[in-house]
Amino acid sequence: MKKKRKVAFGMFNLLTAAAVIAGCSSGSNSGAPNESNSEQSAEKTNEKVSIEVMLSGSAASLPKDDFVKQTIDKDLGIDLNLTLANTLDELVQKLNVRAAGGDLPDVIQFNPAQKSVFEEYVKKNLLLELNPYEEKLAPLKSFISENFLSRAAINGKYYAITQNQATNLSSFWIRKDWLDKLKLPVPQTLDELMEAAKAFTEQDPDGNGKKDTFGITGKLTDVAGFVNVQHGTFDGFYIKDGKMVHGLSQPEMKESIVYLQKMVASGALDPEIASNKPESAKDKAFQGKAGIIFSDWTGVMKDAEVAKWKGANPNADFVMIDKLQGPKADYMAVVGLTAVGNRMAISKEVAEDEAKLQKVLDLFNYTAQDKGANLVQFGLEGTHFTKENGKVKLTDKASEASFTWVYQFSGRPEKEYLITKFPNQAPYIEKNDQLKKLESYTNFIILPTDYNAADADRYKQEELLKFYLDKNKMENYDKFLNELNTTFKYKTYLDSGFQQLKDLGYAK
């Protein structure tokens, strides 16, 4: 009989992205006294081990004839079941309900945005410490990295297998045909990008005799983040002149906001850029209303996306801006020094059943090597892919395996995987990999217990938006920081962050 863990939960605040868990206690396990050991052993030998994995994804994406599940079940002798949530909020809600009933899934996926939720579950002793099992996960270590456990450590203990971070970074994509029409070069600096944006707004680049186009579309917060790194800063922890700093208090942040205000005031940005949804911004660019869009390559250069903008205008030609010199720096993106993708955690209860725990470890190792890794990345060999000189080549049936990413419990070798999946986009994947990046140390920070991150972040983003749109004057920026640091205890977070980074040896 499975031992149940009784967990009483308080109210969960979705905006905090942190589970508030009241406590837990263990129930008793009453075995059948007359059942012989041999009978138990025989029963376990013949019975498939059931394993449940809870993660983000749409159940509608799974086919009825799920060859991945069938293959894994057969190869490992298990009955693998997925519990999928359409959104991250839904996943946390489902997870909290399950925890309250003492019935956590065996394996739980925590998205990078759910870092605080993961930390809360660790604090409440609901997740299995993985330090003792590192040697048993040797294939996984080889597949992911040496620090596949340690980079998500909490007080020196490991509670999650960390997947490598996805590397689809956003940049500006510009209509080369519009540049050619106006006899403008591909921008090499942020100032030149703005000159092109103004020209697209004022000089009728589509030649229809109307002033109905503008320069840049996308999301204002994304554009602001890009302008920040072009000034050598961002909203997080990084090293400047050999010293650990946080970007919000740096003079370059003020300079970046002033630059962004000028961009907004120029009229060269999408009038709805502060409220755009990703799809609406893309529609404007694809339909010829905007000549520059801030997006990653998947949003512009996947075959289906190219068909959309080529269908609207066969002469359209978007090119990626992969290098740009800003007023203070030439960074194109921010990447965490040890940033991780999903955290895959194992419920502590699983350790109460040695056979199940071994099968869970086997599952991770299976999806990290040879047949299993290829299965969850590309499908069935001979059906969905073949191998030529050791390299995977997709067949015309590869689309039947489009759902297999749901089973990538061990992650994947991102660049190689993407180039195999999207050979037509290989040049953009290569450029994406080579974008110059500012290294962030923010992911090392564990949030202080007396700090409400959701409230502080909400206030911070609301106030920054006012500055971006020049609805609050820059002379009030220091007042904003003071309010954030005091009323919203941001200073508590900063002090804790600097101390943690110092203890880890990153900050002086």
248: DSSP letter: G
Q: How many beta carbons lie within 10 A of that of residue 316, not counting itself?
A: 21
Longest CA–CA span in the chain (Å) reads: 91
Cα dihedral 494, 500, 504, 508 in deg (nearest 10): 50
Cα dihedral 436, 441, 444, 448 in deg (nearest 10): -140
Amino acid 23: pLDDT: 38
Question: Concatenated DSSP letters for 21-46?
Answer: EEEEEE------TT--HHHHHHHHHH
Query: pLDDT of 223-280, one tens digit each?
Result: 999 999 999 999 999 999 999 999 999 999 999 999 999 999 999 999 999 999 889 9
Amino acid 7: pLDDT: 39
CATH architecture of 171-331: 3-Layer(aba) Sandwich (3.40)
Band the pLDDT of 46: cuts 50, 70, 90. low
Amino acid 211: pLDDT: 94
The dihedrals phi and psi of 90, each to the nearest 5 degrees, come to -65, -40
Strand, helix or coil for residue 57: coil
Query: pLDDT of 167-202, one tens digit each?
Result: 789 999 999 999 999 999 999 999 999 999 999 999
Amino acid 338: pLDDT: 62
The chain-wide mean pLDDT, for the chain, equals 90
Beta strands in 161-259 (DSSP E): 161-164, 171-175, 214-217, 237-240, 243-246
Query: pLDDT of 453-463, one tens digit each?
Result: 999 999 999 99
Regarding pTM above 0.75, the answer is: yes
Band the pLDDT of 17: cuts 50, 70, 90. very low
Strand, helix or coil for residue 244: strand
Query: pLDDT of 468-507, one tens digit each?
Result: 999 999 999 999 999 999 999 999 999 999 999 998 888 8
Give the residue extent of every domain in the chain.
5-32+39-167+339-409, 171-331, 446-503
212: DSSP letter: -
Q: Do domains 5-32+39-167+339-409 and 171-331 have the same CATH topology?
A: yes
Q: What average pLDDT score do residues 35-54 get?
A: 66
Handedness of CA 361, 154, 143, 62 (dihedral sign): positive
Asked whether 315 and 177 are in contact (CB, 8 A), the reply is yes
Q: Which residues contact 66 (CB under 8 A, 6 or more apart)?
A: none
Band the pLDDT of 334: cuts 50, 70, 90. very high
The dihedrals phi and psi of 23, each to the nearest 5 degrees, come to 160, 175
Amino acid 30: pLDDT: 37
Asked whether 165 and 340 are in contact (CB, 8 A), the reply is yes
Which residues share a beta bridge with 217? 293
Tokens of 273: 């850029």
397: DSSP letter: T
Band the pLDDT of 16: cuts 50, 70, 90. very low
Protein fold of 5-32+39-167+339-409: D-Maltodextrin-Binding Protein; domain 2 (3.40.190)
Which residues share a beta bridge with 189? 325
Query: pLDDT of 112-166, one tens digit each?
Result: 888 889 999 999 999 999 999 999 999 999 999 898 998 888 888 999 999 987 7
Strand, helix or coil for residue 75: helix
Q: Using the predicted structure, report yes or no on whether residue 4 has a pLDDT greater than 60.
A: no
Percent of the chain with pLDDT over 70: 90
Band the pLDDT of 67: cuts 50, 70, 90. very high
Cα–Cα distance measured from residue 498 to residue 34, given in angstroms and rounded to the nearest whole number: 60
Cα–Cα distance measured from residue 342 to residue 162, given in angstroms and rounded to the nearest whole number: 6
Asked whether 359 and 76 are in contact (CB, 8 A), the reply is yes
Band the pLDDT of 38: cuts 50, 70, 90. very low
Amino acid 24: pLDDT: 41
Amino acid 35: pLDDT: 44
Q: What angle do CA 350, 353, 356 make, to 5 degrees?
A: 70
